[in-house]
Amino acid sequence: MFWDDDQPGVVLLSIGATPTSDYTKNRTVRVDAHRAAILDEINAQSGVLPFILRLHTELLLGLKGKIFLGVMGACFVLAIASGIALYGPSMRRLKFGEVRHHRVAIVRWLDLHNLVGIVIGCWMLVVGSTGVLNAFADLTIKYWQYDQLADMLGKEAGRPRPETLSSVQQTADAAQALATGMKPSFIAFPGSIFSSASHYAVFMKGASPLTSRLLKPVVCDAATGRVVDSRAMPWYVTALLVSQPLHFGDYGGLPLKIIWALLTLLTIFVLGSGLVLWSGRILRARRLRDGGRR
């Protein structure tokens, strides 16, 4: 059960056939929070945007694709860093932003590549490095489950599911009483991947723009609703949660998204002009080699 700040008055439910069924096959429905009436079903798996998202995050290859893209992202970050290191020597005789229009095309490409690359270099580094963190999100969450969640659930994790579950409201109230000033972001029901058969896990979030991105897990007994354990997320999960908005640019309204799109186009220009310079160097080397043979 989760809440989306962009959809006030709506509760989203991710439903599986059984508590232990594959969560990736869950169906998601929107429920009116006041009338408890089902509004509609969200098909988050099909459509153009989910396809593009899966292409972007995993190349449609699942975990292997995510790891591959993570490694490629690390190469991207290294390429940007090396480009910044090369900027200084190549600009010793030029002013900032100078483009030598009177020189051959390859020099103009170099100047434009240097200009755009250095101006948006910092943004590219941020988006590239946060992309690497996001690529390893599944592994990070798995590690957290093994490292922290298992410890929070403790010895009671092996208990069977109780006959009667505590109400969700009672559980959420208990979590909210512990984490004052926070509200539930999502509740993992007993038997789901973020809880055990005998526990609810309530993931609380803050109210400020930044803390609304961060989560604090509160584990509650499924039979009584009382709080069993709660602790702050470790640094690696916090880094992952903060990296998501910094990678996707979905936190500052539509103008920020437009700026993000323009910066992405400029990044494509930097990559494209880099290819032009690289191919120009290859062609020149080949020409020199062929000339030497004659």
Q: List interacting residues with another protein (CB under 8 A).
A: 84, 87-88, 91-103, 111-112, 115-116, 118-123, 126, 208-210, 213, 242, 245-246, 251-253, 255-256, 259, 262-263, 266, 269
Q: What is the closest distance, in whole angstroms, from the C-beta atom of residue 292 to another protein in the complex?
A: 24
C-alpha distances out from residue 217 to 4, 58, 112, 165, 228, Å: 17, 27, 48, 19, 11
Q: Which is nearer to another protein, 98 or 147 (CB)?
A: 98
Decide the pairing of beta strands 227-230 and 2-3: unpaired
User: Computed from CA positions of residues 40, 54, 259, 211, in that sequence, does the dihedral angle turn out positive or negative?
Assistant: positive
Q: In whole angstroms, how close is the CB of 69 to another protein at the nearest point?
A: 22
* Cβ proximity to another protein, 110 vs 222, nearer residue: 110
Nearer to another protein, 57 or 264 (CB): 264
- d(Cα 94, Cα 111) in Å, to the nearest integer? 9
d(CA 223, CA 199): 8
Tokens of 17: 């056939």
Nearest approach, Cβ of 244 to another protein (angstroms)? Answer: 11
Q: How far apart (Å, rounded) are the C-alpha atoms in residues 67 and 72?
A: 9
Work out how close the CB of 278 gets to another protein at its nearest, in angstroms, rounded to a whole number: 20
Q: Is the CB of 61 or the CB of 259 nearer to another protein?
A: 259
Kindly state the smallest distance separating residue 104's Cβ from another protein, in Å: 12
Burial of 174 (0-12, 13-18, 19+ CB in 10 A): buried
Show the tokens assigned to 1: 């059960």
Q: Which is nearer to another protein, 48 or 85 (CB)?
A: 85
Which of 255, 291 has the CB closer to another protein? Answer: 255
- Smallest distance, another protein to C-beta of residue 171, A: 30
* 1 contacts: CB under 8 Å, gap ≥ 6: 11, 12, 13, 14, 168, 186, 187, 189
